Every structure is written in C-alpha cells, then in structure tokens.
Amino acid sequence: MAFRIVCRPSVLASPSRAASAALFGTSRNSAMRSMIRGYSSGPAKKSGSSPMLWALAFAGAGVAGYYMMTPPGKVAPLSSPKSNPGVNVETKQKNNLDYQAIYNDIADILEDNDYDDGSFGPVLLRLAWHASGTYNKADGSGGSNGATMRFRPESEHGGNAGLGVARKKLEAIKKKYPDISYSDLWSLAGVVAVQEMGGPTIPWRPGRTDKLSANDCTPDGRLPDGAKDASHIRDIFYRMGFNDQEIVALSGAHALGRCHHDRSGFEGPWTTSPTMLTNEYYRLLLEEQWVPKKWNGPFQYVDKSTGELMMLPTDMELVKDSRFKKYTVIYAKDNDKFFEDFAKAFVKLEELGCRFPEDTKTYRFKSTLE
C-alpha cells in the first residue's frame, strides 16, 4: 500500500527548524518552496523499486539518499550492451554535446509528486555517489569512470539497491543524447541534483567512458555500512583518498532523501526538508536529542521530540568522534562554509578514477532556480 506524505506543522515547530523554513522561503523560487514539507509517522511511500538503499552518499544517492548503507539486497540491473564478458572495451563519446542543454533536461525530470518526497533529486545524487564511491586509490580500480553498475554483480550489491529507479529515470536523457556516456550522464545528474536542490555550484568535466565488460565490476563492500562506527567510516573513505574534513563535508548530503525500509532496512528522513540541501543535517545532529528507535528493524536513532526524523549509527559518529565533531560544529554554524567544502569534496568524489586531458573544459552550469 502507498502512503501519501502529508504536511505536519509540528515537525517544523522547533526554533532551528523554523529558521530553516525561513531560509528556504527567502532563497528559493515558488516551485522549490512547494517541495518543502513535513512527514507523517507512517511508512514511507514505496518508490517502485526493489529492496535496499544506500543511505551517499552522502547520494545517495541516495544518496541519494544518499548514503552510508551496504546491507544485503537485490536489484535487477538495467539491460546492458551485449558484449563478450571477457573483453574489456570502452565506449567513446563525441565532444559536440551541449551539456547545459543536458543539464536542463535532467532538471526537468526531477520533480515528481508521485515519487518519495516529490523529487528524484536525492536518488540521482545517490546514483552519482555510488558510481564514484567504489574507488580504491591503492590499485586505481572503481570510481565514476566506467558506469559498471549497469552490470551484475555490481547492480545487485546491497548498497546499490533501489538505484535501478535512478538508472531507469535517466534512460530518456540517454536516448535523447546517445553520444553522452553513462559515466558522464550519471555524474552530471549528481551535479544537477545538488544545484537544483538549492546546493552550491559544482564544477564538472566531461570525458568519462563506459566499460562494456562485467569483468570491471568492483567487489561488494566498498560502500559505507550505516550500522557501523567511526573506524569503518575512515576505512571506507581513506581508501578513496579522503580526509576527516572531507568525510564530514560529504556526509552533509544526508540533508537530502530518506531511508526506505524495503531497501536498507532503515526508515525515515534525516531532515525536515529532504529535497533542499542546507546545513540542517549538522544542526539537527547537535541540537536534537537522539534516542534509539523502538521497533523490529535494525538499530537506528530517532529525534526524541517528534520521532519522525532519524539518524544512522554512522551519522551519530560525527558527534561522538572528536575529530569528526569539530567539523560538524563548523558546518552547523556556517552554511556557506559547508557549501564551499562540500563542492570541493564532491568534485573530487565524482572524478575518482578519471584521467582528463589537460585541455578538458570545466563547466559551471546555470541552475534553473536562478
């Protein structure tokens, strides 16, 4: 059964949440303001995909929503190009693409009142995050170059459950612009999601190529597990080449999206406005009282005042661990600083595993909100 998300004014009652609402109201257009909403305490509306969520991704992705989960799960991969699985070849793309036009077309498909909280933004962000977050700096494997999530077994990794929704959503864009690689399309979709949900401008470079062999799929377990602790977070992100400051900055993407019980086992949104990127995630971590959720699902936290927001064990490590907490405090106080550091870390994330020619053009896209 699907559950409609309804407005609950009580969710926005606290001073910090009211301040967030005021911020959004003065800085976004009416279409985006209409996406800000509260939440019922009932089950989330199903997204129409098979089980499990990341929780990014910080995407995401996934995201969306998303991000920080790698529980077991299954999701059918998008049909992939027919190829000899023992041959590793790449698709090349042409350089005459109008990337601003592609950006605009992706922005046009984000808003959908029948999906989650009214936007595909969080799940597209999570797709971009998870496609990039497989990178291993030790051997150069993984990363956004290749789009290997198109193939089994990577498409079936627990952390990628539910991302078939995002890949399918982007097929119309791929059909319209067949010369863009999936790797570039997915990473560009992450940029669109960030900017169209009120986040900072993300510089972006094209040139990623698609692998046509499942042999290039990375092993499972490279994405963060939301049930674990600070040492696990560092193991995952240090492997990619990030430091503690960048880890906390990327974690701010949890302001977006929600966990789905039928994907990750966890349930609920992190913030009161999961289709708007602000520093609310950090402020809630510090200002709310978080208590264990009493339910039959995996261990997670809910806010004591309403029980309608949630945090994962990995989220709480950002205030429990002193080296993480100092950055959490900085970003909770300064949204501009969060945006500045998030943009830098996100560019780094999306370029993991990529080698661009020196003359590759860097794009800074105009948001449709401007």
Catalytic residues: 130, 270
Q: What string of H, E and C letters represents the secondary structure of the chain?
A: CCCCCCCCHHHHCCHHHHHHHHHHHHHCCHHHHCCCCCCCCCCCCCCCCCCCCCCCCCCEEEEEECCCCCCCCCCCCCCCCCCCCCCCCEECCCCCCCHHHHHHHHHHCCECCCCCCCECHHHHHHHHHHHHCCCECCCCECCCCECHHHCCCHHHCHHHCCCHHHHHHCHHHHHHCCCCCHHHHHHHHHHHHHHHCCCCCCCECCCCCEECCHHHCCCCCCCCCCCCCHHHHHHHHHHHCCCHHHHHHHHHHHHCCEECCCCCCCCEECCCCCCCCCCHHHHHHHHCCEEECCCCCCCCEEECCCCCCEECHHHHHHHHCHHHHHHHHHHHHCHHHHHHHHHHHHHHHHCCCCCCCCCCCCECCCCCCC
Tell me how far CA of residue 279 lies from CA of 49, 91, 119, 200, 325, in angstroms: 29, 39, 19, 12, 14
